[in-house]
Chains A and B, each alone.
Chain A
Amino acid sequence: MSTRRDFLRDSSLLGFGATVPTFLGRTALAAPAADKAGAKDTVLVVVQLTGGNDGLNTVVPFTNADYYKQRPNIAIAKDQVKKLTDDVGLHPAMGALAKLYTDDSAVCVVQGVGYPNPSQSHFRSMDIWHAAGTAEALTEGWLGNALKKQQVPAFHLAGGNETAPLALAGAPVRVPSITSLDDFKLKTAGATGADNAVQKGVITSVANATASSAKPNNLLDFVSRTQTTTYASSEKLASIGKNYAPKVPYPTTALATKLKLAAQLIDAGIGARLFYVSIDGFDTHAGQGGAAGAHANLLTQVSEAIGAFYRDLAGRGHKDRLCVMTFSEFGRRAYENGSKGTDHGAGAPMLLVGGKVKPGVVGKQPALKGLKDGNLVHDTDFRSVYAAVLNQWLGIDAKPIVGDGFKAAEVFAR
């Protein structure tokens, strides 16, 4: 029987040139010891809340009478919120994150994040957040551009129906989307180990030959490059231990499963530093509920998954390497609609979680008077948050990526 290691040695997998994910040729990076933001082994996990998360019911302004007036059916009662400050508190479903806030000082809430002339199309606004720009045609993402500056192993941890996000587009090597390590294998029907190796060799070498001969940017080039990076990644990940034992139990939700996989990849010592995950369902036009209900269920999933993820990594000594960042394409309208839901809005909070974030609530709480077409006016441009993450956390110059004029938001402890 030939082993996987034999295959790696014998096959032509290693002859990929520029299309090989960087981690293939690299030994594991140094163990965690980040004592300052921007250290070389910091990890960023982006959590996308797809559909437009209702910011007002996530970070609740429980002393504001207008809030209760505008939302007669879905407002969160003052005595139910998880208080963060004298004026705002988290939704009651977010107990796990509230605990990280109060007990661990590991949460930074950025209030009122958005951008000028907000689009209320899911798809346009999502593209703007992904690309960190508002040009008419957006083809590259802010993280893809960051990867151009510094090639670190990155992963999109995907659900079944999910495509690769625009945020990662433009990376010099395509960021692999992975649903589960078990399924992340190229299978063949060889009669023997050697037969399998030969068959895999045919598949990879044809892809490789096509990748080096196809015209740049045509479809065949795209397919074959996707093949070469995928096969290489899959071989690498095959060596990662199957039996990951988390330090704390994870919930059984899809989001928690993705974050558990992220923890496993972080712990595997392959130098993985960038992860992208998403959870869908935040487009709550109808029946979104208040302290309980559809929106509450979503927030529970987010809070518990991130909570478990943080504690698992903290248990392994990685908490100071970790920064989880949540965002959504927009918040929702201040007034509830007649379907006991909310329509597409604008400004909304972002959450950053990790051992080195600046604990507390930063940015101005959006006013509920002086709404613009019923929308909360943003106070912090999201590109200022990106700038902080790029400059101070990943150590990548933000300016060429987010553009001029975005001063880094104060979201990390200095």
Chain B
Amino acid sequence: MLDPKTAWQPYAPTDANPWTRAKVGHLYRRAGFGATAAELDAGLAAGHAKTLDRILKGEPETDDFARTSEFMAGERSMPPGAPQGRLSAWWLDRMLKTRHPLREKLTLFWHNHFATSNAKVQNARFMLAQYRLMQEHALGSFATLLVSMGTDPAMLVWLDTNTSTKAAPNENYARELMELFSLGIGNYTEADIRQAAKAFTGYEIKDGKGVFNRRQHDASEKAVFGKRGKFTGEDIAKLCLDSEACPRFIVRKLYAFLISDTDAPAAALIDPLAEEYRKSGFDTGKLVATMLRSNLFFAPASYRAKIKSPVEFAAGTVRALEGTAGPLPLAGALEGLGQVLFAPPSVKGWDGGRAWLNAQTLLARNNLALALTSTDDARFGHSCDPTRLLDVHQVKPTEAEAVEFLLTVFLQGDAPDAARDKLLDYLKGARAVKYPAYWSATDAANHRTRALTHLVLTLPDYQLA
């Protein structure tokens, strides 16, 4: 572990710890959805400071993309009863095409934080509205986001606030607000929850908006965290924000999201950042910038210290292949990998980390990689054909060059020698394969390139972010 004093200082390249293509890849994986070969080259050439500035700032979306995405989110193409697949495909499409990946990535962080599922909400309009709320504040103020979430229609349905009455409030939102959204277990009492539940009465949905109905609200005095007052839901959210536990809780969670989910960072590491976060009025953009610029972020301990989420795996693969996989089938395939956008398994969100990989989801990953690269899958066809990638970059197929190129694009070279040797052996051995007689030499070479690419995507290292 790095000294907490220097851990959060900005990284500066040195001879001993230079700016490398591997670091560019690392930054693109964590701050976005992976890099293309061109982005790796450009990032390496531009140097570390410029690359970071560009990623943190993002670029405005192209008019075409903004218009299309907006249109697809319109009432006509996305009515309240729009199917789950369309909804998740819409967001996946944004992740694939956005010019501000960091913002989409942090929106995904907040989606996992305020994990709301359309399986219960059953209203695509509400889910989109919640997406917009999270996207607007993704790199903005967590305080505003937390308070606003209390009247977000999707959330009102998801945690039953809209049916909670003065006579007998239900505790669902009050509990998850403290346990999952702001403080973490151990930082409140059951009595706090029961009292806070009274404050979350009188919240309704009217004309698709969350509104406060004073007549249904329990305006009596409540005692929460040792303070007394005629608190409303907004007051309770603010009391949570005032708690010392709150900034620490969010910083820890963001640490796991951006840096490493394999270790539990020491308090000495978290506390200074939590204090800054609190002082900044919960400026998430500033916090994210500090983390991404830091020595710790670029330290060996943080490198490949996460398992790729299904979205990262799929989007990263398509981006690196410079392909255009249809978001609808791709979003459909993600279910098998264990991540459906807008449908997390519970209010705790996806467990993430090692939980991403089990026997079934691993095979689904391997087989999605095959479907994308093989060109004979009905869902994706030639949309991500690896032979085109090699053509574009003028790489000779089925030579050692192809292995080097693919390992650089997908893994920035992070493959053990044994893996490299096996891939080369495969190409050598494949010369003896009895391909169908009607295949030309090019057909056979292309087939080998596609198979080789699939093999690269199954390497253990490629499963790590």
Name which of A190, A223, A286 has the most chain B CB atoms within 10 A of its CB: A223
Which residues of A (203-228) have their CB < 8 Å from a CB of B?
A: 203, 205-207, 209-210, 213-214, 218-220, 222-224, 226-227
| Chain B positions 142 through 185: 1 when the CB is less than 8 Å from some CB of chain A, otherwise 0 | 00000000000000000110011111111110010001000001
| Contact A202/B464 with A189-B374, A230-B363, A343-B170 known, Cβ cut-off 8 Å | no
A218 surroundings in chain B (CB, below 8 A): 262
- Docked-complex contact A123 and B340, CB < 8 angstroms: no
Complex Cα gap A218–B434 (Å): 41
- Docked-complex contact B360 and A158, CB < 8 angstroms: yes
Asked if B390 is an interface residue, CB under 8 A from chain A, the answer is no
Of A119, A195, A223, which is within 8 A of B433 by CB? A195
Complex Cα gap A305–B440 (Å): 54
- Docked-complex contact A227 and B460, CB < 8 angstroms: yes
Closest residue of B by beta carbon distance from A217: B262
Instruction: Kindly provide the distance from the CB of A286 to the nearest chain B CB, expressed in whole angstroms.
Output: 4
Asked if A103 is an interface residue, CB under 8 A from chain B, the answer is no
| Chain B positions 237 through 249: 1 when the CB is less than 8 Å from some CB of chain A, otherwise 0 | 0000000000000
Of B171, B338, B434, B439, which is within 8 A of A344 by CB? B171
Asked if B348 is an interface residue, CB under 8 A from chain A, the answer is yes
Instruction: Kindly provide the distance from the CB of A315 to the nearest chain B CB, expressed in whole angstroms.
Output: 28
B350 surroundings in chain A (CB, below 8 A): 163
Closest residue of A by beta carbon distance from B201: A338
The bracket for how many chain B residues form the interface is: 35 or more
Of B361, B426, B461, which is within 8 A of A177 by CB? B361
B361 surroundings in chain A (CB, below 8 A): 177
- Docked-complex contact B358 and A121, CB < 8 angstroms: no
B430 surroundings in chain A (CB, below 8 A): 195, 198
Of B170, B305, B362, B364, which is within 8 A of A338 by CB? B170
- Docked-complex contact B464 and A223, CB < 8 angstroms: yes
Asked if B343 is an interface residue, CB under 8 A from chain A, the answer is yes
Complex Cα gap A203–B362 (Å): 12
Which residues of B (346-393) have their CB < 8 Å from a CB of A?
A: 346-348, 350-351, 354-364, 366-367, 370, 373-374, 376
Complex Cα gap A177–B348 (Å): 21
- Docked-complex contact B175 and A183, CB < 8 angstroms: no
- Docked-complex contact B160 and A341, CB < 8 angstroms: yes
- Docked-complex contact A191 and B435, CB < 8 angstroms: yes
- Docked-complex contact A202 and B170, CB < 8 angstroms: no
The bracket for how many chain A residues form the interface is: 35 or more
B81 surroundings in chain A (CB, below 8 A): none
Closest residue of B by beta carbon distance from A203: B458
Closest residue of A by beta carbon distance from B458: A203
B190 surroundings in chain A (CB, below 8 A): 120, 373
Of A161, A229, A280, A339, which is within 8 A of B359 by CB? A229
A190 surroundings in chain B (CB, below 8 A): 433, 451
- Docked-complex contact A223 and B460, CB < 8 angstroms: yes
- Among B31-39, B405-413, B414-422, the one that faces the other chain is B414-422
Asked if B345 is an interface residue, CB under 8 A from chain A, the answer is yes
Instruction: Kindly provide the distance from the CB of B369 to the nearest chain A CB, expressed in whole angstroms.
Output: 10
Closest residue of A by beta carbon distance from B429: A198
A179 surroundings in chain B (CB, below 8 A): 336, 360
| Contact A344/B366 with A123-B348, A207-B460, A223-B464 known, Cβ cut-off 8 Å | no
Closest residue of B by beta carbon distance from A340: B163
Which residues of A (315-353) have their CB < 8 Å from a CB of B?
A: 335-341, 343-344
A219 surroundings in chain B (CB, below 8 A): 262, 304-307, 354, 464
Closest residue of A by beta carbon distance from B361: A177
Asked if B447 is an interface residue, CB under 8 A from chain A, the answer is yes
Closest residue of B by beta carbon distance from A234: B363
Asked if A23 is an interface residue, CB under 8 A from chain B, the answer is no
| Contact A230/B359 with A222-B354, A224-B460 known, Cβ cut-off 8 Å | yes
Complex Cα gap A183–B371 (Å): 13
Complex Cα gap A205–B461 (Å): 14
B262 surroundings in chain A (CB, below 8 A): 218-219
A161 surroundings in chain B (CB, below 8 A): 335, 338-340, 343-345
Instruction: Kindly provide the distance from the CB of A226 to the nearest chain B CB, expressed in whole angstroms.
Output: 5
Closest residue of A by beta carbon distance from B462: A223
A184 surroundings in chain B (CB, below 8 A): 359-360, 363
Q: Considering the complex of A and B, which 9 residue pairs feature the smallest CB-CB distances, nearest first?
A: A338-B168, A176-B359, A338-B165, A177-B358, A163-B355, A339-B163, A286-B160, A230-B359, A189-B374
Listed by A's residue number, 17 A-B pairs whose Cβ atoms lie within 8 Å are A161-B338, A161-B344, A162-B345, A174-B358, A177-B358, A178-B359, A183-B336, A188-B370, A189-B454, A191-B436, A195-B433, A195-B451, A206-B460, A210-B419, A219-B354, A224-B460, A229-B359
Interface contacts beyond A122-B346, A230-B363: sample of 13 additional A-B pairs, CB < 8 Å, sorted by A: A123-B179, A158-B358, A160-B336, A161-B344, A163-B356, A174-B358, A183-B336, A191-B434, A195-B451, A227-B362, A234-B363, A286-B164, A341-B170
B residues within 8 Å of A by Cβ? 159-160, 163-172, 175, 179, 185, 190, 193, 262, 304-307, 335-336, 338-340, 343-348, 350-351, 354-364, 366-367, 370, 373-374, 376, 416, 418-419, 422-423, 425-426, 429-430, 433-436, 439, 444, 447, 450-451, 454-455, 458-461, 463-464
